[in-house]
Amino acid sequence: FKGFLRKCVEALQKLPDRGILAGMGELLDDKQKTWVKVNLRKDTIFLLKLKLAP
């Protein structure tokens, strides 16, 4: 399981912030899109790393 989480972190670190919106753009309003571009990738990586911690 932890190996999978590490692969997720690596993949997210390579993904550009704009790429995180792929397929979700029509579901979000402009304010939400801005938040996603700025925070979602960073917050997700943080939470995955937190889960990996002993």
Q: 24 pLDDT band (50/70/90 cuts)?
A: confident
More confident residue, 47 or 19: 47
**Residue located via tokens 């889960």:** 51
Residue 41 pLDDT exceeds 80: yes
Residue 20 burial class via C-beta count within 10 angstroms: exposed 0-12, middle 13-18, buried 19 and up? middle
Confidence class of residue 25 from pLDDT cuts 50, 70 and 90? confident
For the chain, what are the domain ranges? 2-52
Contacts of 37 (CB under 8 A, 6+ apart): 17, 18, 20, 21
The mean predicted confidence, pLDDT, of the chain is 90
| pTM confidence score | 0.78
**Which of the four pLDDT bands, split at 50, 70 and 90, describes residue 5?**
very high
